[in-house]
Chain A
Amino acid sequence: SQQGEEDPQALSIQEGENATMNCSYKTSINNLQWYRQNSGRGLVHLILIRSNEREKHSGRLRVTLDTSKKSSSLLITASRAADTASYFCATGTASKLTFGTGTRLQVTL
C-alpha cells in the first residue's frame, strides 16, 4: 500500500501565486523526498529532507517536515507555467522508494 497520501489531489493556480501541497505518511522515516513529473514522463528529484531537519530550501522550493505529525509540505513560491506537473512525496531508501498519491498542479497564465 502507498506510504504517503497527498493533498490536494489537484491544484490550479495563476502564475505568480504560491502553491502548497501536503504529504502524510504512516511509519517512521529517515528522510522524505519530493519528485516532480511532467506530463506522465520521468520523475525529477527536487529535494530531500532528513528526519532531523524541519525545513529546507532550494531556490523557489521550501519543504517542511513534522515527524510528530508524520507530515511534510512542499511550497513553490512565485509559480510559473513551467511548474505545471505532478508532484510526489516519497519515503524509504533509494533502493525502495514508496511514493505518495501525488498532487497535480496546474499553473495558468
Chain B
Amino acid sequence: DTEVTQTPKHLVMGMTNKKSLKCEQHMGHRAMYWYKQKAKKPPELMFVYSYEKLSINESVPSRFSPECPNSSLLNLHLHALQPEDSALYLCASSQVDLGLMNTEAFFGQGTRLTVV
C-alpha cells in the first residue's frame, strides 16, 4: 500500500467555523508533512512531524493547528480562517531522512479548502 489518504476531498467553511483535515498512511513512514498550495503555484511546506513530534513549523499562523495522534495519522485543525487561506492542502509522508537525503515523499490527493 503506497497510498496517502486525505479526507475530505473538498471543504467549504465559514470564517467562524472549526474543521479538521485528516491524513492517513500505512507505509510505515515516520515523517509526515502538511503543504499548502495556491492556484498555479508550487506547494509550500507548512509543518513537518518526525516520529510523531513536530519538528518544523514554517511560521504558520496559529489558526492552523497540526496534530499527529499516532504514526499513521496526521490532522490539521482549522479555526477562524480567512478567505486568503483558501487553497489545496496536501499531506505527504516519507521515511525519516537520516542524512541520506535520498528519500522521496508520497503525497495524498489533497483537500481543496474554500473559506467563505
Residues on A facing B (Cβ under 8 Å): 2, 30-31, 33, 35, 40-45, 48, 50, 88, 93-102, 104
Contact = CB atoms under 8 A, between A and B. Distances in A.
Interface of B: 4, 31, 33, 37, 39-45, 48, 50, 55-56, 88, 90, 92, 94-97, 101-110, 112
Contacts of A45: 104-106
A96 B45 contact: yes
A30 B101 CA distance: 7
B11 to A, nearest CB: 15
Contact of B48 (A41, A50, A88, A96): A96
Nearest to B94: A94
17 contacts: A2-B42, A30-B101, A30-B102, A31-B101, A33-B104, A41-B110, A43-B43, A45-B105, A88-B43, A95-B33, A95-B97, A96-B45, A96-B48, A99-B42, A99-B44, A101-B42, A102-B42
A93 B97 contact: yes
Given A42-B109, A48-B102, A94 B42 contact: no
Q: With a 10 A CB-CB cut-off, give which of B4, B33, B107, B112 has the most chain A CB atoms.
A: B107
B102 A97 contact: no
A35 B4 CA distance: 16
A42 B4 contact: yes
Q: With a 10 A CB-CB cut-off, give which of A2, A33, A96 has the most chain B CB atoms.
A: A96
B99 to A, nearest CB: 8
Contacts of B41: 101-102
A95 B42 contact: no
A42 B105 contact: no
A43 B43 CA distance: 9
Contacts of A100: 42
A101 B40 CA distance: 9
Nearest to B90: A42
Contacts of B103: 93-94
A13 B4 CA distance: 32
